[in-house]
Amino acid sequence: MIKDEHFKDPKACLEDFNFGADTARVFDDMLDRSVPFYSEIQRMIGEMAGDFVQAGSRIYDLGCSTGNTLIALDQCLKEERCELVGVDASEEMLAVARQKILKRPLQLPCSLEVQNLEQGLVIDNASVVILNLTLQFIRPLYRDDLISRIAEGTRPGGCLLLVEKVLGEPSLLNRLFIKHFYAFKKRNGYTDMEIAQKREALENVLIPYQDSENRSLLLKNGYSACDVFFRWYNFSGYIAIKD
C-alpha cells in the first residue's frame, strides 16, 4: 500500500479535495488511517448485504472507489445468484479497482461504471445498494433525487446501506467528536499540518448532515424504516428498508 503523504508539505494555495490520480494512488492507505473501523464497516456491509440479497438481483456500490467493498461483497455473497455493480465518477479510482480485480478475480459477475451520481442515475433490479462515505460528497441539492432514484430501482424487501460523516448535535458535541477524530488521525501517523490542510481542502467538498437530516432524507424518499448499525463519534452507518 502506498503511504498517503498528499498533505504532508505546506501548500501555498490549497485546491479543493478531489478524487483524481494523486488521491487514487494512495487512497487505500488514506481510508485505513482516516476512517475509524474501516475494515469492520466493510465486514458489516457484507454481512448485511447477505441478509437482504435476493436471487437474480443486482448489488450496487455507489462511489465504489478502489473496489474494497465490492471485494468484501464478493466474499460474502459468492454463493448467491446476484451481480455486483460498482459506480464512481472517478476514472482513476476505477482504474485502481480494475487492477485489484484483475489480480484477484471476483467470483460474482461485476461491472464498473463511470457515472456522476448527480446526473440522472438509473438503478435497476437492486436488492442492496451501498453508499459508503459517498453521499457526503453529493451536493445537498441533489441528495433527495439520488435517494429516491435508488429507492425506485430497489425491489421490495431490499435495503440501502449508508455510511456518512455526520454533524454532532449540539455544536459542543460536534466540536468534541471532531477533536477525538483528529486525535485518531494523529495516532495513525498524520501530523497537525496534514490534518489542517486536508480539513481545509474538504471544506466545500464534504458536506455532512446531522443524524436527524440523514434519517429524514431516507424516510421521505422511499424507505419505510431506518436504523443506525454503526456509530463512532462523527461517523454513522444507517440501514434503510424498502417495503
Binding residues (CB under 6 A) for ligand SAM: these are 19, 31, 63-65, 68-69, 88-90, 93, 116-118, 132-134, 137-138
Contacts of 171 (CB under 8 A, 6+ apart): none
In whole angstroms, the minimum distance from the beta carbon of 229 to ligand SAM comes to 15
In whole angstroms, the minimum distance from the beta carbon of 55 to ligand SAM comes to 25
> Which residue's Cβ lies closest to ligand SAM?
63
In whole angstroms, the minimum distance from the beta carbon of 12 to ligand SAM comes to 26
3-state SS class at 240: strand
3-state SS class at 209: strand
Burial 154-176 (b: 16+ CB within 10 A, else e): bbeebbbbbbbbbbbeeeeebee
Radius of gyration of the chain from its Cα atoms, rounded to whole angstroms? 17
Cell 442492496 sits on residue: 128
Between 63 and 153, CB nearer to ligand SAM: 63
Between 119 and 171, CB nearer to ligand SAM: 119
Between 81 and 144, CB nearer to ligand SAM: 144
Between 90 and 127, CB nearer to ligand SAM: 90
Between 41 and 226, CB nearer to ligand SAM: 41
In whole angstroms, the minimum distance from the beta carbon of 233 to ligand SAM comes to 17
In whole angstroms, the minimum distance from the beta carbon of 237 to ligand SAM comes to 11
Q: How far apart are CA 213 and CA 17, in angstroms?
A: 24
In whole angstroms, the minimum distance from the beta carbon of 131 to ligand SAM comes to 8
Between 21 and 183, CB nearer to ligand SAM: 21
Q: Strand 57-62 to strand 126-132: parallel, antiparallel, or no bridges (unpaired)?
A: parallel
Contacts of 110 (CB under 8 A, 6+ apart): 70, 74, 83, 84, 85, 86, 101
Q: Strand 126-132 to strand 225-232: parallel, antiparallel, or no bridges (unpaired)?
A: unpaired
